[in-house]
Amino acid sequence: MRLEDITVTLRPRQPWESVDLGCAMVRRDFGRIIMLWACTVLPLWALVCVLLRSSPVWIPIVVWWLKPLYDRVPLFFLSRAAFGERPTFFETLRQWPRLWLKNFLPALLWRRFSMIRSFALPAQMLEGLRGAAVKRRIRTLAMDGGGSGVSMTLAFSNIELVAWIGLMFGTYGMLPESAQLDWEGLFQSLDFEGTIPNAFLWWGAGCHMVIVTLVEPFYVGAGFSLYLNCRTRIEGWDVELAFRRMATRLTSTAAAVIIAVLALCGAQSSVQAATQTNPDKAVREVLEDPEFEIHKFKTSEWVWDDEKDKKADRSKSRNLDGFSTVAQLVFWTLILGLVALLILYLVKNRHLFISRGVSKAPVQAPKVLMGMNITRECLPDDIVAAARGAWAAGDFKEALSLLYRGSLSWLVNQRRVPIRDSDTEEDCLLQVLQAGDKNEADYFRQLTGAWVQVAYAVMPVSNEEMGALCDRWPFVDKGGAA
């Protein structure tokens, strides 16, 4: 391909202009592109439908995943047509296997989710680069047109999605009843696999293929046009092309120029006339040539008109400074208030952060808890033996009371558990659990349940449970006494 054979006007364009140019290139040869698409893409889709005939829900996903393969044949045709070659239908088909096999795995794996896919595809397919060279080339081009490539990809993705949904809603009424959805049953059971009929899934896959066929060629053309615009801006293709055309014209007219110069030198009158020629006029005529056309872009920039505007702006600046000061004051006041509330909360709930282990400081132990005297003088020397005797005599409440009072007495006086005289059974159990001794806590939990069952529910415990409570008494290191 030669640069001077290009059939589009090369000049730096805005991104939206480049996208419009690419769509115009596709519209110019849309019939040929659709024919190539039908011969290359439709057989692949037919194979996908055959392989996934039992799971049609996966067909749109596979069709979407294989998009990088579809784009290569339209790009090949557009790139040749842009440089004046316009390959025939059969010439393009002969290139089909080579185009699809080139960089096959990267296109479907780590490059599949690239947001500049159509913008980077010409660099991968047309420049003959490989490996790290392709990455460097795409990175260089993306510095100028990468943002436009991302925006274009998002725009075409939204167009494709909206068109797909619109086509499905527009043709939904044409479906037979057996293929239509039971919307009420679908939302009630949420059983998508069992509620959605296969005919509906096949219809959705077909609508998706139609939309991809109509939208994807324009996406390829827009990306190719962005690529051309990026190279024009970076490499100065428009300037290079202007000089090449000038060189061609100069070469073809060189003989005529030499003859004219010799004639002028031989004729004195002609020399005098030449000396009278205005050089400024000749320069202007040369610069008026279309090759030297200068493309201008208008931009707006704020400038000060007069001193009054400056004073007004300074006044606004002072007002903004005052507002900023008030805003900062309110912000730091809120921060200090939140810190104060946090400190107050921590102070009020400091007991939640205090270890419940054995305290070395003297604790004022209560003598009566829930109406029961737990002092050492009111308890027998051998609490377990006394409890067994009371249980054998049929006084179940007294037996459990001895075990419960003895446990509380030892925990309060020996373990220094911070139990207060106003605590209930549940409060006492919570304090024991927080004290940290697992053996004592497990025993006291079982004992508390048995005591509450007998004292308040008037439901006796079994002999096995009472025997277990006596056998597991954890305070035997004190001789069985509290």
Rounded (10°) CA dihedral 422, 424, 428, 430: -120
When pLDDT is averaged across residues 205-222 and rounded to a whole number, the result is 92
Burial of 52 (0-12, 13-18, 19+ CB in 10 A): middle
pLDDT tens, residue by residue, 274-291: 445 566 666 666 666 666
Residue of 211 and 80 predicted with greater confidence: 211
pLDDT tens, residue by residue, 120-143: 888 888 877 777 888 888 888 888
pLDDT tens, residue by residue, 373-405: 888 778 888 888 888 888 888 888 888 888 888
User: pTM of this prediction?
Assistant: 0.51
Least confident of 307-311, 367-371, 376-380: 307-311
In 236-306, where does DSSP find H-type helix?
A: 237-252, 254-266, 268-275, 279-287
Q: What is the DSSP string of 201-245?
A: HHHHHHHHHHHHHHHHHHHHHHHHHHHHHHHHHHH-HHHHHHHHH
Residue of 266 and 223 predicted with greater confidence: 223
DSSP H or E segment with residue 97:
helix 89-101
When pLDDT is averaged across residues 172-195 and rounded to a whole number, the result is 65
